[in-house]
Amino acid sequence: MMRHVAFIVLITLFFGCKKENKEPECRFTNIAIAGKKHTVTYRGDSLVTVGDDNYTGYKLFFNPQGRLIRNDEPLLHPHQRTELKYNGSGQVTEIQLYSNSAYGYYKYYGKIVFTYSNGKITNLREENLYSQVGNLYDHEVIWDDNNIKSVVNRLNGQPYCATHFNYDGSIPNRMRHFTDFYFGAGYDNFTSNLDYNYYLLPFYFSEMMPVKQESDCFLSETKFFQYTFLSSGLLESMSSNGNILWQYEYECR
């Protein structure tokens, strides 16, 4: 019952298209999922507010180096907090999970640990989560060159389902410039067993955009993805099976 990192959406990483020798700095102003817009508000360089609904919005906090370090949600009386840890290469190694106790302070209850090989995510592992006492869930990320081919979900080291992704090689992944998006948002990124996490991984880490997802996981369905882009090359929307999943608006300087 952990919805952390939700309606995943990052903010303050820069992405642009080349103009002469300088790339403009672009950032989100609106993010929409399933047709519902979430306004993105920037307060200096250290705080970003996503959404204006006090009961579903959230705040992202950044350090002086521009790295995402914390997420509090919802906006009014936040009761969930995540804190991020980094390695020397600037990659997220842990997302530590906290809940606001009845005594008014945040209590640690678990973490998600990220493993890398040759600079690529290869595993996500849960530790010390109350809902999984005695069990260990992890998610093995399998790569094919620079694209994520499969994510295998495992319980106590034994695979129980997998999700596979297909690419046609013609759609470069514009979202790789927003990798904090994956770690900082709160839309279905992480749940009590991470089963809803896998489908987001290729959209922020693969070199190309996936065009198909199929899985043997519970309640899964085969999805075909379609994209629209702005003239700048920024991703405008993503659809699946006729339904718009995500939409983005930006400002560039």
Every domain of the chain and the residues it spans: 26-252
| Predicted TM-score (pTM) of this structure | 0.82
Per the structure block, which two tokens stand in for 210? 């996936």
Look at residue 148 and tell me whether its pLDDT is greater than 90: yes
8 Å CB contact between 226 and 209: no
Residues 125, 137: Cα–Cα separation, whole Å: 6
pLDDT at 105: 83
8 Å CB contact between 239 and 247: no
pLDDT at 186: 56
Least confident of 25-29, 63-67, 160-164, 182-186: 182-186
Look at residue 18 and tell me whether its pLDDT is greater than 90: no
pLDDT at 213: 93
8 Å CB contact between 75 and 51: yes
Q: What is the pLDDT of residues 58-78, one digit of tens each?
A: 889 999 888 899 988 888 888
Residues 47, 208: Cα–Cα separation, whole Å: 30
Provide the β-strand partners of residue 27.
251
What amino acid is encoded at 169 in this protein?
A: G
For the segment(s) 26-252, the CATH number from 1.10.10, 3.30.460, 2.40.160, 1.10.3470 is: 2.40.160
8 Å CB contact between 223 and 212: yes
